[in-house]
Amino acid sequence: MTNSNKEKVVLVGAGPGDIGLLTLNGKHWLQKADVVLYDHLVNPDMIRFTQKSTEIIYVGKKEGVASMAQEKINSLLISKAREGKTVVRLKGGDPFVFGRGGEEIQAVQAAGIAFIIVPGVTSVTGVAAYAGIPLTHRDLSSTFSVITGSNEKNQGDIHIDWEKIAARAGTLVFLMGARKLPLIVEKLMSFGKSPDTPIAVVQWGTTARQKTWIGTLGTIVEISAKDKILPPALTIIGEVVNLKPVVEWYEHLPLFGKTVVVTRKGDQAESMIDRLRELGAEPFFFPVIETIAPDDWSPLDNALNNLSQYHGLIFTSVNGVRFFAERLKTIDQDIRELKGLRVFTIGPKTAEAVRDLGIRVDVVPENFVAESLISSIGKENIEGKQFLLPRAAVAREILPEQLREMGAIVDVVSAYQTVLPAPQVDELSKRLEAGSIDVITFTSSSTVKNFLALAGDKLLPAIQKVKIACIGPVTKNTAQEAGLNVEIVPEQYTVSSLLDSIEAFFQPNS
């Protein structure tokens, strides 16, 4: 079909919303993609799994509003693949369940383009599970039917056989029927479905914005009247709905319904994002720092080639450890050169990164800030002794300055530099202005400064209304100096303690 190993279209189901429901195979292809075409209901946070060079194209369609015609999407898939690229078509839920995946693959196949299909967790099962409603149950329902609640060609009715649908036993699941809810319940009752039949409508299922309305066919329209139920919504009809009070779990998680902005850089954010998801929060990934090589390696190289002259080696961050180790290897040196050096670190994660290299850490201060390390080192006689501090090109000067005042010789060399990335400022702006951001987390002073620089002055009033969580007092002071109201600071200055403090803030009696 093709002469290129890369020339292919990969149809990937993104799941119903929770990024954790993306399959491993789906993530694998996102990491390999040259081009990604994604839909409106795809969690945009999945884009972080792509390469920096990946071309990202939004082709989403809201109910009744198309930003790009289906024929144009088909043409894009084919034209991008013919450029010799791996093209991922990322679709919400499962692409073969009312997702037009079949149509797109037909077009790709007719064009002679190779294709791969990666199924996704459909909203039918995913949303029901997160709502705590089993679709089948031995005592209540041995079948379930999946029905479209949308019909783009006719806005008045839905072209299905209502008489046969109403007569079906078991559970009925309507997709894409938010705006047609009054019609759906009216049609089912008019064709014989009991008005007492339980019904649940789940909006934004599997996300922190999930909301569920419970009632019967006879009452649900009135119950939901005060709220405007908008897409995406899933409607479940049948006796299994009565199991929700027993089975529901997601909506009881301690941070359910909270959206938390994560400002850490990409490769350091995963564990924080995973923990937030476990707590029921929606992590909003907004990296404000990107680490790159310094402009000039020669100061670090010179120090690495003369490690024997140093008494101590000081690491203040995981990044410093990583770039130091990589450069040591690049210039054909290894950790044996560190023999005899005392190693000092700030913070348990930094110490862990050093130990992972097979190097013993001599001193980790009680409090994970520069001042505490200075106090620890000050217990030793360091006058006239030489220390190497590989760190970011721009950083706090308190550590080297105070060590020098104590008589030490400190060589500060750039192991890396931080730059501003290009995160989703438009999406952040939209969420802030809508009031749907609950907490912004900062793990260093630079994350505060960079976040505000990226957000701009226009968003500052909205940011000042959001709860601010800072990893420690130095970061807190930076945020307060910028006019932010910091409400959450952990007693221990670690990411884990920061998340514990956020949980305790919203669940004080847990």
Residue 46: predicted pLDDT: 93
pLDDT tier, 317 (very low <50, low <70, confident <90, very high otherwise): confident
Give the lowest-confidence range in 132-136, 152-156, 253-257, 399-403. 152-156
Whose tokens are 């709860």? That residue is 467
Q: Average pLDDT in the 319-344 region?
A: 88
Encode pLDDT of 107-119 as tens digits.
Answer: 999 999 999 999 9
Encode pLDDT of 277-297 as tens digits.
Answer: 999 999 999 999 888 899 999
Bond from prior residue into 232 cis (ω within 30 degrees of 0): yes
Residues 40 and 14: beta-carbon distance below 8 Å: no
Quote the tokens at residue 348.
């348990």
Residue 64: predicted pLDDT: 53
| Rounded Cα distance, 206 and 209, in Å | 8
Amino acid identity of residue 382, one-letter, is: I
Q: Average pLDDT in the 127-153 region?
A: 90
User: Terminus-to-terminus CA distance in the chain, angstroms?
Assistant: 59
**What share of the chain has pLDDT > 70, as a percent?**
95
**Pairing relationship of beta strands 144-148 and 290-292 according to DSSP bridges:** unpaired
pLDDT tier, 3 (very low <50, low <70, confident <90, very high otherwise): very low
Residue 378: predicted pLDDT: 67
Residues in a beta bridge with 345? 315
Residues 411 and 386: beta-carbon distance below 8 Å: yes
C-alpha dist (Å) from residue 181 to 176, 363, 389: 10, 64, 64
Catalytic positions are 39, 61, 176
Quote the tokens at residue 212.
């569920």
Q: Average pLDDT in the 208-222 region?
A: 95
Assigned CATH topology for domain 8-121 = Cobalt-precorrin-4 Transmethylase; domain 1 (3.40.1010)
Fold match, 125-252 / 259-289+421-506: no
Q: Average pLDDT in the 205-224 region?
A: 94
Residues in a beta bridge with 409? 386
Closest by CA to 121, choosing from 43, 30, 15, 23, is 15
Alpha-helical (H) ranges within 83-234 are 101-110, 123-131, 162-167, 181-190, 220-223
Encode pLDDT of 16-25 as tens digits.
Answer: 999 999 999 9
Closest by CA to 225, choosing from 173, 182, 174, is 182
| Rounded Cα distance, 5 and 335, in Å | 40
Q: Average pLDDT in the 53-57 region?
A: 94
Give the CA radius of gyration of the chain.
Answer: 28
Residue 2: predicted pLDDT: 43
**Pairing relationship of beta strands 8-13 and 65-66 according to DSSP bridges:** unpaired
* Extents of the domains making up the chain: 8-121, 125-252, 259-289+421-506, 293-419
Residues 353 and 321: beta-carbon distance below 8 Å: yes
Sign of the alpha-carbon dihedral angle for 152, 156, 162, 168 = positive
| Rounded Cα distance, 447 and 287, in Å | 8
CATH architecture of 293-419: 3-Layer(aba) Sandwich (3.40)
Closest by CA to 148, choosing from 216, 199, 97, is 97
Q: Does 270 score more than 70 pLDDT?
A: yes
Quote the tokens at residue 206.
């599997």
pLDDT tier, 10 (very low <50, low <70, confident <90, very high otherwise): very high
Residue 368: predicted pLDDT: 56
| Rounded Cα distance, 244 and 240, in Å | 8
| Rounded Cα distance, 246 and 244, in Å | 5
pTM of the model: 0.80
**CATH number assigned to the domain covering 125-252:** 3.30.950.10
Closest by CA to 416, choosing from 388, 445, 393, 394, is 393
Which helix (H) or strand (E) is 328 found in, with range? helix 318-330
Long-range contacts of 458-463 (CB under 8 A, 24+ apart): 458/429, 459/428, 459/429, 459/432, 459/433, 462/432, 462/433, 462/435, 463/432
Q: Does 1 score more than 50 pLDDT?
A: no
Instruction: Please name the residues in contact with 215: beta carbons below 8 A apart, sequence gap of 6 or more.
Output: 198, 199, 222, 223, 224
Query: What is residue 292's three-state secondary structure?
Result: strand
**CATH number assigned to the domain covering 259-289+421-506:** 3.40.50.10090
Q: Dmax over Cα atoms in the chain, in whole Å?
A: 92
Residue 366: predicted pLDDT: 64
C-alpha dist (Å) from residue 235 to 218, 257, 322: 14, 20, 50
Could you give the count of Cα atoms lying within 13 Å of 381 in the half-sphere of its Cβ? 0
Residues in a beta bridge with 9? 87, 115
Closest by CA to 202, choosing from 166, 155, 243, 251, is 251
Q: Does 251 score more than 90 pLDDT?
A: yes
Residue 144: predicted pLDDT: 96
| Rounded Cα distance, 311 and 381, in Å | 11
Closest by CA to 7, choosing from 114, 88, 89, 117, is 114
Query: What is residue 163's three-state secondary structure?
Result: helix
Give the lowest-confidence range in 78-87, 361-370, 406-415. 361-370
Residue 152: predicted pLDDT: 52
Q: Does 200 score more than 80 pLDDT?
A: yes
Ramachandran category for residue 438: left, alpha or beta (phi over 0 → left; psi -120 to 50 → alpha): alpha
Encode pLDDT of 239-250 as tens digits.
Answer: 999 999 999 999
